Structure 1
Amino acid sequence: MVSACSKCSDIGFARGLFDVMPKRDHIAWNAMIGGYAQCGQLREALSLFHLMQMEGVWVNEVPMISVLSACTHLGALDQGRWAHAYIKRNKLRMTVTLGTALIDKYAKCGNVNKAMEVFWGMKEKNVYTWTSAMGGLAMNGFGKKCLKLFSLMKHDGIHANEITFVSV
């Protein structure tokens, strides 16, 4: 119900349901944090994530993606660095989605070197990963590097999508 209400943009009702739950597992926390992030209530998403940690709830990649998205949209580079350190410290598996969110966060916060460090460190990449890296390079003034990365992507057999071409 928390997830459904959040997706219908009734975040207040979703939070009311969340608050009265006698026992909240990581799925309920993930739904509420994701709901806040999707509804643009980014500070609330980060605040709830911190509360989740204080309560000792197990964290997986799902809330981390919402946290990274919130940091990206707020331009909160320091909180994003903290989230990356949290991922490393807790040995969360670097999935394609989580890695792409990190690349996007670093690139949009202006730290292209860190974005590319994450990119090159990923074992698995998809078109969104490549596109995030190229977009980060392009928006931060590294057009030639973006084009070189595009060539490498094609060489690896990854097919571009519409968003890829916007970056290129």
Structure 2
Amino acid sequence: MMLVSRNSYLAVSNGTNPHVEFWGVWAEYNERVLSCCYKWLHNDSDQIEDAMALTREKAFHAYRNNIGCIENMFAWLCRIAHNVCMDIHRLSSKENDLVGIVSGSPSQFYFSENYSRTLESDYESRDLYQQLSHAINDLPNDLKQAIQYKFIYEMEYAEIAQRLQITPENVRKRVQLARKKLSALRAC
């Protein structure tokens, strides 16, 4: 590659690797492109970081394909960076518009709670489930059957009463007694 002026290159490849050539060009103009991005994105460092990464990626791919056509490297890199910054502005504007619409009429939109379980909560849930299973198995048979039918098989009191051949009131009492014994787990 032959240097014509400080800011322009003629693409006369001398057999060097385009990857290495690009990183040399990028290193030379990185700070100047960065200062342009600061201006275009109003000093928003997160957006600038994203813009520089996208610019670098797009410029690298375009450099490999257009190695002979680029006359002014700085202007070429600035054009790519400017386009990326404007894309980021458009995206940010769309997001702000959407936030404005949603905050203007929150009753029309449903937001689910963003909750992700931690490993500790998974472990605690599993541990509580095992304790509950053991406690149910340790109940007297009549209470165990009533609680299993009610909460595991989700049967109605009348259906449980028919199965156990007792009155629905007795089923309710057995479930109440079983829940009372199992509630001791919650206190632990």
| Common fold: TM-score over 0.5 | no
Q: What is the TM-score when the length of structure 2 is the normalising length?
A: 0.18
- Work out which of the two has the higher radius of gyration on C-alpha atoms and give 1 or 2: 2
Q: What is the TM-score when the length of structure 1 is the normalising length?
A: 0.20
